[in-house]
Amino acid sequence: METPLRIAIADDHALFRQGLKSQLKLQTGLTVVAEVDRADQLASVVGATPCDILLLDLQMERSSLADIESLAEHTAIIVVTASERAEDALAAIRAGARAVVFKRFAIESLMDAISAVADGHVWMPPALQKLLTARLREPPEEEPLTPREREIVRYVAVGMRNAEVAEKLAISEVTVKTHLNNIFQKLHLRGRTTLALYAIRVGIIGVQDRNG
């Protein structure tokens, strides 16, 4: 029997939290292990209660944006937000969120987002994806990446971890990390999520690869 996917919910609206819990209870293979209603409780709750995915409201009593980078070291983050501004979504993705779900579409799209993130992919609504990829840095006229770097970008963009990339390419994990550092510097990008968006933008992978 597979271990249930552990979900934590951070939102300061009790009715919305209850709605999320009710929806998740209808799904097999998921369990809600923690609830948070204040941004200043995020670090302590996530630290004390291991979870696979955190459903995070971007705006509680304060912005949660500053917390995403540190929280992303411990769990995959799906931002669930009332804001549909591309700028807010892009800021969350750049900080380390693995998915963005708009609250008014949460019932329809939340499970798609959870499934994609659990499989190591990035997820966002198609309309938002189009907006965000258009806002990424335009690729230089000359190809900035070597063939090996493009290989690494392709594998990382579809959700492979460094150890998996190393095994795939028969190189060391340290070498993969060195290549990634060079790639981020060349492209002026930060984080695996923005690298995935870049890969779609320049055709290294297709949208179907990224969304599983």
Tell me: do 67 and 52 sit in the same domain: yes
Q: Fill in the DSSP letter of residue 62.
A: S
Mean pLDDT calculated for residue range 156-181:
92
pLDDT of residue 133: 66
Of all helices (H) and strands (E), which one includes residue 18? helix 14-25
Given pLDDT bands bounded at 50, 70 and 90, which one contains residue 205? confident
Nearest to 211 by CA among 131, 140, 119, 130: 119
- Quote the number of domains for the chain: 2
Cα 6 off chain centre by: 16
Tell me: do 128 and 146 sit in the same domain: no
Task: Decide: pTM greater than 0.75.
Answer: no
Tell me: do 22 and 127 sit in the same domain: yes
Nearest to 102 by CA among 36, 173, 112: 112
Tell me: do 130 and 176 sit in the same domain: no
Tell me: do 115 and 145 sit in the same domain: no
Tell me: do 34 and 119 sit in the same domain: yes
| Domain hosting residue 199, numbered range | 136-210
Q: Which residues, 6 or more positions from 17, have their beta carbon under 8 angstroms from its beta carbon? A: 9, 11, 35, 37
Contact (CB, 8 A) for 200 and 207: yes
Of the residues 134, 156, 191, the one at which a domain ends: 134
CATH number, domain with residue 93: 3.40.50.2300
Q: Fill in the DSSP letter of residue 139.
A: P
What the block records as the tokens of 3 is 């271990």
**Percent above pLDDT 90 for the chain:** 28
Of the residues 78, 111, 134, the one at which a domain ends: 134
Tell me: do 154 and 120 sit in the same domain: no
The span from the CA of 152 to the CA of 158, in Å, is 10
The span from the CA of 196 to the CA of 192, in Å, is 6
Given pLDDT bands bounded at 50, 70 and 90, which one contains residue 211? very low
Mean pLDDT calculated for residue range 62-84:
85
Tell me: do 84 and 171 sit in the same domain: no
Tell me: do 180 and 199 sit in the same domain: yes
CATH number, domain with residue 154: 1.10.10.10
Contact (CB, 8 A) for 157 and 190: no
pLDDT of residue 143: 65
Tell me: do 9 and 47 sit in the same domain: yes
Which residue is it, tokens 């009790």? 14
Tell me: do 122 and 205 sit in the same domain: no
Q: Write out pLDDT tens, residues 119-153.
A: 888 888 877 777 766 665 555 445 688 999 999 99
Tell me: do 117 and 15 sit in the same domain: yes
Between 46-55, 131-140, 162-171, the lowest mean confidence (pLDDT) is in: 131-140
